[in-house]
Amino acid sequence: GAVVSQHPSRVICKSGTSVKIECRSLDFQATTMFWYRQFPKQSLMLMATSNEGSKATYEQGVEKDKFLINHASLTLSTLTVTSAHPEDSSFYICSAAGLRSYNEQFFGPGTRLTVL
């Protein structure tokens, strides 16, 4: 199957700082990338959908000014958590679609963010 990477795998930051998470599709061009968040013992929650070269579409309740998404190429999307606070601590997972169909998503390994 297709490979999607995320960097970093873990990050710890101080409250008020910004953190950037990268998501790359390594062996295919992803027309669409998705960002999810997962709190402990909960399911994945879709945060936003991004298409290369256009603005991301955010799910209801997700602050677009706090979670900045850039999708500059068909293989790279970034999520920046701005002015992070402890309640932003979570497991952030990206996925990429487009290898065979829009609906078939390949997921990255996730990034564990801890805000102190």
Partner 1 sequence: DAKTTQPPSMDCAEGRAANLPCNHSTISGNEYVYWYRQIHSQGPQYIIHGLKNNETNEMASLIITEDRKSSTLILPHATLRDTAVYYCIVPRNQFYFGTGTSLTVIP
Kindly state whether residue 105 participates in binding partner 1, applying the rule CB under 8 A: yes
Judged by CB under 8 A, the number of residues near partner 1 is: 23
Is residue 67 involved in binding partner 1 (CB under 8 A)? no
Q: Is there a contact between 76 and 9 (Cβ–Cβ < 8 Å)?
A: no
Q: Does 58 bind partner 1 (CB under 8 A)?
A: no
116 membership: H or E segment, kind and range: none
How many other CB atoms are found less than 10 A from the CB of residue 105? 19
Evaluate the CA torsion angle 40, 45, 47, 49 in order and state its sign. positive
Is 8 among the residues that bind partner 1 (CB under 8 A)? no
Of 106, 113, 114, 116, which lies in the binding site for partner 1, with binding defined by CB under 8 A? 106
Residues that bind partner 1 (CB under 8 A): 1, 4, 6, 34, 36, 43-46, 49, 91, 93, 95, 102-110, 112
